[in-house]
């Protein structure tokens, strides 16, 4: 009896051992399942005149990654954040690092001079790029997508307002020739504005006092300012000190994007009351603002919502094949805190801008 029991135990052990070895051999022969991973390069002008905007965009981009990751736990997202300082040379260096060292698969960025310097390289490499700022060189149906409307889309609401809602005999347009984005804004404005105008050029804050005197010497009825915030705020300060006639002031959207720069330069923004400018159409940002404040204990800066949406667009469209990924972005129809996002044939966001006014020292809807 004991021998039968012992024999039974030996048989059971051998059978179980065989099953284990068979199972292990079968598992060992299976291909390893690799974890899906997206690596994004986030390149923003953190140390520039657009620094406060860029910080908010960076924070919101990282918030989007965190929220997207929670909804897509099987795909790991890694980010590499770099500061291009709104400098094309730095931007090119960063991209080379992204490509050769970090091995990023997609890019979210802001700076016009950087995307202009890199567009040929981007096109050659085929990497998906979602850029917030204006691209002025090489715009085409490619792998680069622009979250802000083109120059015409951004400047048209202001030109239309001045054409249809005012009856000035003479205005003076103050503009920059050194920044490609603002040069485009000016060129589009004068194409769209059919009435008489004079123009004054300023490219550096240091010449703001001389330029303010030139502007007022034109004896115009209204002043239209199409300038980067650092330059625009400096010349506006001088104008407000010298302007005894309380002229009407109009600004392109840079008053909105660069509001912190104007506030820093002017101190009391009530001196801008009555000023007309443009901004993106209002959307419901309640949930976005709450999530941003919970994460950073701060209110989101202006255009932070574009950083969130840019990152969501590139993540929601992800495909391991870069060509398919780009095609998916082109087909985007997404509603986020910055509004509805769809792209035209050249990958530029279809515009939704409105005319607004400064009241009680704040930009408010008309």
Q: Is the pLDDT of residue 354 over 90?
A: no
Count of CB atoms situated within 10 Å of the CB of 71: 9
7-64 pLDDT, tens digit per residue, is 454 444 444 444 334 333 433 333 334 568 999 999 999 999 889 889 999 999 999 9
Q: Which of 11-25, 121-135, 160-174, 234-248 has the lowest mean pLDDT?
A: 11-25
DSSP assignment of 296-364 equals: HSSPPPTTHHHHHHHHHHHHHT--SSHHHHHHHHHT--EEETTEEE-B-TTSBBPP-EEEEEEETTEEE
The per-residue pLDDT for 16 is 42
142: containing domain: 36-149+282-351
Domain co-membership, 159 together with 218: yes
Domain co-membership, 142 together with 289: yes
With the C-alpha atoms ordered 215, 220, 221, 223, is the resulting torsion angle positive or negative? negative
Q: What is the mean pLDDT of the chain?
A: 90
Q: Average pLDDT, stretch 260-284?
A: 91
The angle at the Cα of 351, spanning 342 to 145, to the nearest 5 degrees, equals 50
Domain co-membership, 236 together with 360: yes
Q: Would you say 53 and 296 are in contact if contact means Cβ atoms under 8 Å apart?
A: no
Domain co-membership, 139 together with 45: yes
Q: Would you say 109 and 146 are in contact if contact means Cβ atoms under 8 Å apart?
A: no
For residues 283 and 349, which has the higher predicted lDDT (pLDDT)? 349
Position 22 in a domain? no
The per-residue pLDDT for 76 is 96
Domain co-membership, 155 together with 254: yes
Position 30 in a domain? no
Position 10 in a domain? no
The per-residue pLDDT for 9 is 45
Domain co-membership, 155 together with 97: no
pLDDT category at 151 given cuts 50, 70, 90 is confident
Domain co-membership, 143 together with 187: no
The per-residue pLDDT for 35 is 66
Q: Is 352 helix (H, G, I), strand (E, B) or coil?
A: coil
The per-residue pLDDT for 229 is 93
Domain co-membership, 194 together with 65: no
Between CA 93 and CA 117 the distance in angstroms is: 11
The per-residue pLDDT for 21 is 40
307-337 pLDDT, tens digit per residue, is 999 999 999 999 999 999 999 999 999 999 9
Model pTM? Answer: 0.68
Helix 180-192 vs helix 112-125: crossing angle, to nearest 10: 100
Position 4 in a domain? no
pLDDT category at 366 given cuts 50, 70, 90 is low
Between CA 157 and CA 357 the distance in angstroms is: 13
Q: Average pLDDT, stretch 91-96?
A: 98
Alpha-carbon distance values, 88 to 117, 257, 328, 333, 338 (Å): 6, 21, 28, 31, 27
φ, ψ of residue 41 in degrees (nearest 5): -95, 125
Between CA 146 and CA 139 the distance in angstroms is: 9
Between CA 105 and CA 325 the distance in angstroms is: 10
Position 26 in a domain? no
Domain co-membership, 134 together with 169: no
Q: Is 137 helix (H, G, I), strand (E, B) or coil?
A: coil
Q: Which residues of 228-255 are buried (b: 16+ CB within 10 A; e: fewer)?
A: bbbbbbbbbbbbeeeeeeebbbbbbbbb
Position 28 in a domain? no
Domain co-membership, 140 together with 212: no
Q: How many domains does the chain have?
A: 2
Residue 349: DSSP 8-state: B
Domain co-membership, 276 together with 286: no
Q: Would you say 362 and 269 are in contact if contact means Cβ atoms under 8 Å apart?
A: yes
The per-residue pLDDT for 219 is 96
190-204 pLDDT, tens digit per residue, is 999 999 999 999 999
- Per DSSP, which regions of 257-296 are E strands? 276-280
Q: Which of 74-78, 114-118, 338-342 has the lowest mean pLDDT?
A: 338-342
Q: Which residues pair with 144 in a beta bridge?
A: 129
Q: Average pLDDT, stretch 130-139?
A: 93
Position 12 in a domain? no
Domain co-membership, 303 together with 314: yes
Portion of the chain with pLDDT greater than 70, in percent? 90
Q: Is 94 helix (H, G, I), strand (E, B) or coil?
A: helix
Residue 169: DSSP 8-state: S
CATH number for 330 = 3.40.50.2300
Q: Average pLDDT, stretch 341-360?
A: 92
Position 8 in a domain? no
Q: Which of 89-103, 277-291, 331-345 has the lowest mean pLDDT?
A: 277-291
């Amino acid at each position: 009896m004991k021998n039968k029991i012992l024999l039974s135990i030996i048989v059971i052990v051998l059978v179980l051992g065989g099953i284990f070895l068979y199972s292990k051999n079968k598992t060992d022969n299976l291909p390893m399942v690799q974890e899906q991973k997206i690596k994004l390069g986030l390149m923003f002008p953190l140390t520039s005149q657009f620094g406060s905007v860029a910080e908010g965009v960076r924070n919101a981009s990282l918030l989007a990654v965190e929220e997207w990751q929670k909804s897509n736990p099987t795909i790991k997202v890694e980010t590499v954040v770099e500061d291009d300082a709104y400098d094309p040379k730095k931007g090119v260096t960063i991209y080379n690092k992204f490509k050769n060292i970090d091995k990023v698969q997609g890019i979210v960025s802001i700076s016009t001079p950087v995307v202009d310097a890199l567009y040929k390289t981007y096109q050659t490499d085929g990497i998906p790029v979602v850029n917030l700022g204006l691209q002025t060189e090489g715009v085409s149906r490619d792998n680069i997508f622009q979250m802000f409307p083109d120059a015409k889309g951004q400047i048209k609401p202001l030109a239309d307002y001045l054409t249809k809602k005012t009856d000035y005999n003479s205005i003076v347009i103050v503009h920059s020739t050194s920044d490609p984005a603002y040069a485009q804004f000016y060129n589009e404005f004068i194409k769209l504005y059919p009435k008489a105008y004079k123009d004054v050029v300023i490219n550096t804050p240091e010449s703001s006092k001389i330029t303010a005197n030139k502007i007022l010497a034109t004896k115009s009825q209204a002043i239209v300012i199409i300038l980067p915030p650092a330059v625009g705020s400096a010349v506006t300060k001088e104008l407000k000190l010298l302007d005894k006639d309380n002229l009407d002031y109009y600004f392109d959207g840079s008053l909105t994007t660069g509001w912190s720069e104007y506030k820093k330069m002017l101190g009391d923004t009530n001196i801008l009351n009555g000023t007309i400018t443009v901004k993106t159409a209002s959307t419901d940002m309640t949930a976005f603002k709450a999530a941003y404040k919970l994460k950073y204990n701060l209110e989101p800066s202006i255009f932070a919502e574009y950083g969130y949406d840019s990152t969501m667009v590139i993540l929601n469209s992800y495909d391991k094949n870069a060509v398919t990924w780009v095609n998916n972005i082109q087909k985007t129809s997404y509603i986020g805190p910055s509004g509805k996002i769809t792209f035209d044939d050249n990958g530029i966001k279809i515009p939704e801008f409105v005319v607004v006014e400064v009241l009680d020292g704040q930009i408010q809807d008309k």
